[in-house]
């Protein structure tokens, strides 16, 4: 007599946990519009770093509204892939890191200090930015889909110190500052630093602490300002509180200031965020208030 054995609760729980810990590559590719044949090569990395930020916007609406940010894979897939929303660096690059790992890339998570648009004599920021270092056939590349208004939209040669690397938008270069790596972008007024990366790969616990600080500390810019960005091959579109800016890759810029209802509409129509109407309206109201508040020194 053959007996049919039912899976024990512990086995069923383990199977469910394993499924939740798997990245849904097909759904991710559909989300960003990737239709190629993915391989752990430079062509695939180029395609993903261009398509991802064009569809999955940089945003921290949850942080702005005082909500927690969950960096677990199930939460990232529910929000950025199935939920139609975006995220900030820990979410964006955390998702891309898992995608690349599933495709067979050798990928390391890095952590760094943001320098973007800060005075040269300003105190150094905590380690609050995540980026990726990807090794392909012995060559290391910087991949970053989570730096908001100034992502490269392409992988950059990590070890080509001082070499200018043109992209569809700005030209970038990586410099050495001791054992740290400094990323700079060439703007009309010269070279400007974006961030410095620690040489050692970061631990998941490093990101948990940095994410907790960035999403909860009252001095975090994401708690005080609404910041949204979307980079497509032909333009960068950014929203800072009520200021909507479009910078075209071919040159030229448009800027206008939005009313409260226009901000709520832009979050959905311009940036493609699938937000509940109440969340969009609440974020718009807070952004309008933040734009009207007196500016204080950092």
pLDDT in tens, the chain (298 residues): 333 333 444 544 444 444 446 999 999 999 999 999 999 999 999 999 999 999 999 999 999 999 999 999 999 999 999 999 999 999 999 999 999 999 999 999 999 999 998 888 888 889 999 999 999 999 999 999 999 999 999 999 999 999 999 999 999 999 999 999 999 999 999 999 999 999 999 999 999 999 999 999 999 999 999 999 999 999 999 999 999 999 999 999 999 999 999 999 999 999 999 999 999 999 999 999 999 998 654 3
Query: Which member of 62, 85, 144, 150 is catalytic?
Result: 144
Per-domain boundaries in the chain: 24-292
* 206 counts as catalytic: no
Helix axes 89-102, 42-55, angle to 10 degrees: 150
Looking at domain 24-292, does it have CATH number 1.20.140.10? no
In our burial notation (b when 16+ CB lie closer than 10 A, e otherwise), range 10-23 reads eeeeeeeeeeeeeb
The neighbouring-strand residues paired with 257 are 243
CA pair distance 109, 111, nearest whole angstrom: 7
Catalytic site residue 41? Answer: no
Choose the catalytic residue: 52, 89, 150, 169: 89
Instruction: State the catalytic residue, choosing from 62, 129, 150, 169.
Output: 129
Based on the residue annotation, tell me whether 89 is a catalytic residue of this protein.
Answer: yes
């Amino acid at each position: 007599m053959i007996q049919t054995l039912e899976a024990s609760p512990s086995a069923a729980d383990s199977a469910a946990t394993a499924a939740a810990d798997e990245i849904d590559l097909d759904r991710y590719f559909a989300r960003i519009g990737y239709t190629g044949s993915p391989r752990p090569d430079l062509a695939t990395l180029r395609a993903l770093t261009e398509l991802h930020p064009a569809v999955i916007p940089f945003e921290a609406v949850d942080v702005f509204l005082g909500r927690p940010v969950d960096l677990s894979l199930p939460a990232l897939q529910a929000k950025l892939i199935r939920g139609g929303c975006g995220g900030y660096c820990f979410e964006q690059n955390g998702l891309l890191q898992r995608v690349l790992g599933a495709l067979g890339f050798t990928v390391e998570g890095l952590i760094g200090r943001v320098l973007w648009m800060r005075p040269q004599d300003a105190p150094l920021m905590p380690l609050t930015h995540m980026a990726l270092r990807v090794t392909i056939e012995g060559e290391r590349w910087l991949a970053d889909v989570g730096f908001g208004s100034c992502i490269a939209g392409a992988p950059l040669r990590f070890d080509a110190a001082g070499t200018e690397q043109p992209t569809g938008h700005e030209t970038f270069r990586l410099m050495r500052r001791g054992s740290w790596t400094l990323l700079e972008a060439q703007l009309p007024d010269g070279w400007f630093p974006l961030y410095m990366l620690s040489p050692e790969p970061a631990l998941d616990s490093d990101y948990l602490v940095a994410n907790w600080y960035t999403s909860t500390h009252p001095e975090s810019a994401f708690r005080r300002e609404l910041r949204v960005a979307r980079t497509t091959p032909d333009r960068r579109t950014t929203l800072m509180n009520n200021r909507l800016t479009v910078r075209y890759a071919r040159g030229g810029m448009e800027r206008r200031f939005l009313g409260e209802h226009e901000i709520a509409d832009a979050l959905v129509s311009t940036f493609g965020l699938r937000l509940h109407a109440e969340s969009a309206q609440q974020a718009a109201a807070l952004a309008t208030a933040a734009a009207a508040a007196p500016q204080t020194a950092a």
